[in-house]
Amino acid sequence: MSSSLGVTQNTASNLPVKQRLAMEFRPKFKGLLNDFPYITYSVDDEELSSNLGEVLEKTGFICQSHSSEDIEKLTQFLIYSLKKDQLVLVQFHTKQGGLNIVSLLRKLKNKNPRLSFKNVVPVFMAKASSASQQKIFKLLAGFDVRFACFLKPGSPVEKNLEGVLAGLLAFHESLTKRIKTDDQEDLDISIETRKSSEAIEQYKKILADADEIIKTDPEKAIELFTKAIELNPDFDALIKRGDAYYNIKKYVEALTDYKEANRLNKGKATPYAKMSVCCFSLLRKNSEANRPDLAKKWFDMGLKALNNAKNVVNEIKEKGIFEEDVTASMYAPIISALAQTDLRELGLEEEAAKVEDFVVGMFDNTKDVVFDNMAQDIDSQIDYATLLARKKYYKKAEEIFRDIIEKDTESVGPAFNNFAVELRKNGEYGKAFQIYMELLKNTIPDRDIVTQNLMTAGSAYGKALRKEPNLEKAVYVYENILACAPDCAEKEWVLCDLAMTLLEMKDNAQASSKLMEALYINNKLMQTERFKKLYGELVILKENMMMKLS
Q: How sure is the predictor about 276, in pLDDT bands with cuts at 50, 70 and 90?
A: very high
* Model pLDDT, residue 188: 41
The closest alpha carbon to 302, from 285, 288, 289, 316, belongs to 285
Mean pLDDT in residue range 278-284? 94
Is residue 241 over pLDDT 80?
Answer: yes
| pLDDT grade for 142, boundaries at 50, 70 and 90 | low
Burial class for 184, CB neighbours closer than 10 Å (0-12, 13-18, 19+): exposed
Given a cut of 70, whether residue 94 has pLDDT beyond it is no
Average pLDDT over residues 234-248: 91
Cα angle: 140, vertex 143, 146; to 5 degrees: 65
Cα separation, 21 vs 393, whole angstroms = 59
Question: In the predicted model, what is the mean pLDDT of the chain?
Answer: 81
**pTM attached to this predicted model:** 0.61
Structure confidence at residue 377 as a pLDDT band (50, 70, 90): low
9-175 has which fold? Rossmann fold (3.40.50)
The 10s digit of each residue's pLDDT in 343-362 is 887 888 899 899 999 988 88
- Is the per-residue pLDDT at 133 higher than 60? no
The residue with greater pLDDT, 203 or 439, is 439
Report the C-alpha gap between 175 and 179 in whole angstroms.
Answer: 12
**What residues contact 373, with CB distance under 8 A and at least 6 apart?**
97, 98, 325
Tell me what pLDDT residue 137 has: 61
Bigger pLDDT: 374 or 505? 505
CA atoms of 310 and 302, how far apart (whole Å): 13
Q: Picking from 8-12, 176-180, 357-361, which range would have the lowest pLDDT averaged per residue?
A: 176-180
Spans of all domains in the chain: 9-175
- pLDDT tens-digit series, residues 378-428: 788 888 889 999 989 999 989 888 888 877 777 778 888 889 989 998 999
Backbone angles phi, psi at 42, to 5 degrees: -135, 105
Q: Comparing 25-34, 105-114, 154-163, which segment has the lowest mean pLDDT? A: 105-114
pLDDT tier for residue 32 given thresholds of 50, 70 and 90: confident
pLDDT at 520: 92
Using the predicted structure, report yes or no on whether residue 251 has a pLDDT greater than 50.
Answer: yes
pLDDT higher than 60, residue 197: no
* Band of pLDDT at residue 200, cut at 50, 70 and 90: low
Question: pLDDT grade, residue 4 (50/70/90)?
Answer: very low
